[in-house]
Amino acid sequence: MNDYVAGPTSLAVPAEAAAHAVNPWVAFAYLVAGVCFILALRGLSHPTTSRQGNRYGMIGMTIAVVTTLVTHDIASLPEIGIAIFLGGTIGWVIARKIAMTDMPQLVAAFHSLVGLAAVLVGWAAYLNPGAFGILGEGGAISPVSRVEMGLGIAIGAITFSGSIIAFLKLAGKMSGAPIMLPGRHFINLGTLAAILGLTVYFTQDQSFWIIAVITVLAFIIGFLLIIPIGGADMPVVVSMLNSYSGWAAAAMGFTLHNTAMIITGALVGASGAILSYIMCKAMNRGFLSVIAGGFGADAGGGGGGAAQTDRPWKRGSAEDAAFMMSQAEQVIIIPGYGMAVAQAQHVLREMTDLLKEKGVTVKFAIHPVAGRMPGHMNVLLAEANVPYDEVFELEDINGEFAQTDVAFIIGANDVVNPAAKTDKSSPIYGMPVFEVDKAKQVFFIKRSMGGVGYAGVDNDVFYMDQTMMLLSDAKKMVEEINKSLAD
């Protein structure tokens, strides 16, 4: 999605608003681009159509960029060409070098650029309103444009600073544990109220200090909203920041009278908000608490802690797992972030091929919030060429565990924790989880018994009678299982 989110922001260039209003071909071109963006979102809703969705997004962005360049007297084409070449080259190099396991922080970084672009465009419009066609009576910026400008800058600044914190947490350059400030909710509400109040006052007085204070406060609130959120809640944060970036672009589109930015920004903002709502339901989080920030800390997300290793548990081996799975009728694999860190998706695909050669039915179960961003596990499995018809969502496969011979958990934790169903005091209580405790045999790959998931709670699955713990690096363990299966 983010591949074509950033584009509309880059369209925010000095232009006469009248050119949009009188030229029907411009409106038609932007309409076609908008339709392409809608088709892109539709395509990205499923792995089998995601490539086609990306193509629609690229076609729509090409139409929007070409239309803007042709119909606006903005700068010399060589300058624009150089800027596009430099930006495209940087993006191409980053995309080529980035590992799939680092995709969440890359998305967060891209979101920050979209927010920063909105801030810069808003300031450009403020400093040179005549070039943007937003002057009203008496040579002042029109009140409506001031509202749009203030909101665009504020949302963009929140997106930028919040995305920076999300990037640092996802990249491991900052602790994933919540950083809780005393009275943070009062501080956040007060800061947001000040931003809204100053935006209203900005309609009456367009002094420099007002827009400057709005920008600074918005940068600050972006940090304050994200630092209390723990690592377990990062998928929702990434989705919500994506929504913020869309609304920032839409606000700038209104300021610049750019239909393409309005359409695309609204699509991204709305789709990101809907996705965030769906993910909140999957994690038993309140949607409003996401917007307010700090919900992970209240729920205990991202806490530390250690497993209760004094409880009895069984240690298994690669040979045990290979034998039991080769004798099974059905094996369900539940991947998590540990698989991504170990980059075990390719050897896992090799394991499924070996099992299928032995007549075993293999399915993958994907939790809505597995990994560090929406669809993280789906992307990794697609990279390993796992057939789409073998990948199932939680609600489609959860009823099959009672008839499953082996549940194979690789790098997941909280999404299989039965405490979500039984322990009302647990921070994950109410979150839908895979019912792996109903499987006849469970193999659980994790590095050691001394750690817990991002929610910071112990997992009773470790200690079940039918569970064997496979303590090792995920990729190394699966490679050993493959050797045993091949013998």
Active site residues: 414
> ∠ CA(184), CA(185), CA(190), 5° rounding?
100
Q: What are phi and psi of 434, to 5 degrees?
A: -70, 135
**Do the Cβ atoms of 294 and 180 come closer than 8 Å?**
yes
Q: CB–CB of 150/215 below 8 Å?
A: no
**Phi and psi angles of residue 330, each rounded to the nearest 5 degrees, phi first:** -140, 135
Identify the CA nearest to 366 among candidates 12, 112, 46.
46
- 256-291 burial, b at 16+ Cβ within 10 Å, e below that, comes to bbbbbbbbbbbbbbebbbebbbebbebbebebebbe
Residue 449 burial (CB count, 10 A): 17
Euclidean distance between CA atoms 457 and 208, whole angstroms? 50
CB 191 within 8 A of CB 220: yes
The set of residues, in sequence order, having a beta carbon less than 8 Å from that of 80 and lying 6+ positions away, is: 69, 74
The C-alpha atoms of residue 72 and residue 14 are separated, in whole angstroms, by 8
The label of the residue with tokens 């377990």 reads 232
